[in-house]
Structure 1
Amino acid sequence: MAAIKKQSLVDQIYQRLRENIITMQLPLGSHLNVNELQSQMGVSCTPIREAINRLQQEGLVVYENNVGARVLMLDEHDVREIQELAATLQVTAVRLALRQGDRQRMALEIREQIRRYEQALTPQEEVGAVHELVGVFYHNCGNKRLDNSMIAIQGQQLLLRYLYCSCAGHGKNQADFERIYQGVLKNDPDAIIAALRENAERALPGILRCLKEKTS
């Protein structure tokens, strides 16, 4: 039986703030006041600052001179840039993972995430399944620098996925994920990349519409 891992105080604060940002309970552009967070959470400023620094590394928090930390702002240009960068990284991750990883194990991991996605009851559960599905290629690409590059924007990607999954009438994407699964089985990186690209393109209008609704 695997040991139960205890989360540090910093981890707990980080996870709480991260979820609140991704689900937009903390609105885009809102100021993160350390003193207010201390009062709300009943902890010292040190773990809060460490958690905020981690969120900055993920691209969810930015620092401004004379202002301090705030949740990132997004407009249509930002969304397109994030999607373009993610697509570029995904191409490399997919090709390296199929070249160097265990395809049978990756296929099993992707099948499990498809199952989680199909059974998801909330946007958070959908987002988690999609995030882990795409993450299979990064975890198996054998390139830590590439994996670290994705970490730098993964918070922003999660936020965009949440926007899409929480948008009314967004629809499910099992067909795209099945194509990804089959691409792994057949060792066909081009098919996987095409499915990922088409999925992102299909989601873009919904993301932009939901972003406009939540920021207007």
Structure 2
Amino acid sequence: MAQDLLKDVVYKRIKDMIINGSLPMGGKLSESALATRLAASKAPVRDALRRLQSEGLVQIKPKSGTFVFSLNDVEFKDLLEFRFYVEAKAMSLSLKKNPKQLVQEISAILDNMDYCISNGSTVEYIRLDNLFHEALFNWCQNPYLTQAYILISSRMATIRHYMGSNDEHMNRSYQQHVTIVKALRENDYDTALDALQGHILPEYGAYWGLL
């Protein structure tokens, strides 16, 4: 039991370090260095890296070593395209099945985002950004869509932290969230969808200059 708990703690700490950028994207990972840093043995570190590989956060390259994931431009565009498709469908189903609950949750998150923008709380804004997009799945009542999003959610959280220092990107992101919430309050899925396209897809301006 204690060993299993230690494995979970080490896994969570390494995952958090990847997402918040303490272990940067593309960086090489050393089991020995991580074990020392976390005051743990190599066994739970090795177990954590295998689990993180299955989530796409770690890449184990034969004869080269273990690395935090990285994406080239094509891979990043593919990821964003997949993300848009599943989020758009989840948003549509949530609006049909649970519109009141959806709007209440994202409106509350948006209020907190507004406070973060006003006070320069970048880290908290990024956390709320993650919660905003998770909310689109909380009310869609389709476990397969939710599982599909889980496949990429940790990578997207990492990318949000990576890009969080870009004020222009964050301010544009906030305004797009405002448009999405306003449209969903008015049951206007088409306008919300247009805003989501601009928020996610590079061909509509998302991540312009950051790819």
**TM-score, length-scaled by structure 2:** 0.82
Match of 1:186 in 2: 186
Equivalent position amino acid for 1:18 in 2: K
Shift of 1:89: 1.0
Alpha-carbon separation, structure 2, partners of 1:37 and 1:15: 13
Q: Offset of 1:114 from its aligned partner?
A: 0.8
Q: Residue 66 of structure 2 aligns with which residue?
A: 69
Give the unaligned 5+ runs of structure 1: 1-7, 209-216
Q: Do the aligned partners of 1:30 and 1:71 also contact (CA within 8 Å) in 2?
A: yes
Tell me the CA shift for residue 168 of structure 1.
Answer: 4.5
Local SS of the residue matching 2:63:
coil
Shift of 1:68: 4.5
Q: Which amino acid aligns with 1:89?
A: V
Is the alpha carbon distance of 1:45 and 1:105 closer, same or farther for their aligned partners in structure 2, counting shifts above 3 Å? same
Identity %: 25
Partners of 2:131 and 2:38 lie apart in 1 by 29
Q: How does 1:8-47 map to 2 (within 5 A)?
A: 8-47=5-44
Q: 1:187: Cα distance to partner? A: 2.6
Counterpart of 1:53 in structure 2 is 50
| TM-score normalised by structure 1 residue count | 0.80
2: distance between equivalents of 1:207 and 1:90?
21
What's 1:3 paired with?
A: none
Q: What residue number does 1:213 align with? A: none
> Hey, what's the Cα distance between the residues in 1 that align with 2:147 and 2:74?
24
- SS of the counterpart of 2:59? strand
Cα offset for 1:190?
A: 2.1
SS of 1:70 mapped into structure 2: strand
Cα-to-partner distance string for 1:101-145 (whole Å, 9 max, x where unaligned): x22121111011112212223332121111111111112111112
Within 5 A, what are the aligned runs for 1:49-198? 49-100=46-97, 102-120=98-116, 121-172=120-171, 173-198=173-198
| Larger deviation, residues 88-97 vs 30-39 | 30-39
The ranges of structure 1 where at least 4 consecutive aligned residues each deviate by more than 6 angstroms after the TM superposition are none
Whether the 8 Å CA contact 1:95–1:189 is kept in 2: the answer is yes
Q: In the aligned structure 1, how far is the partner of 2:10 from the partner of 2:187?
A: 41
SS at match of 1:207: coil
Distance 1:164 1:64 in 2: 26
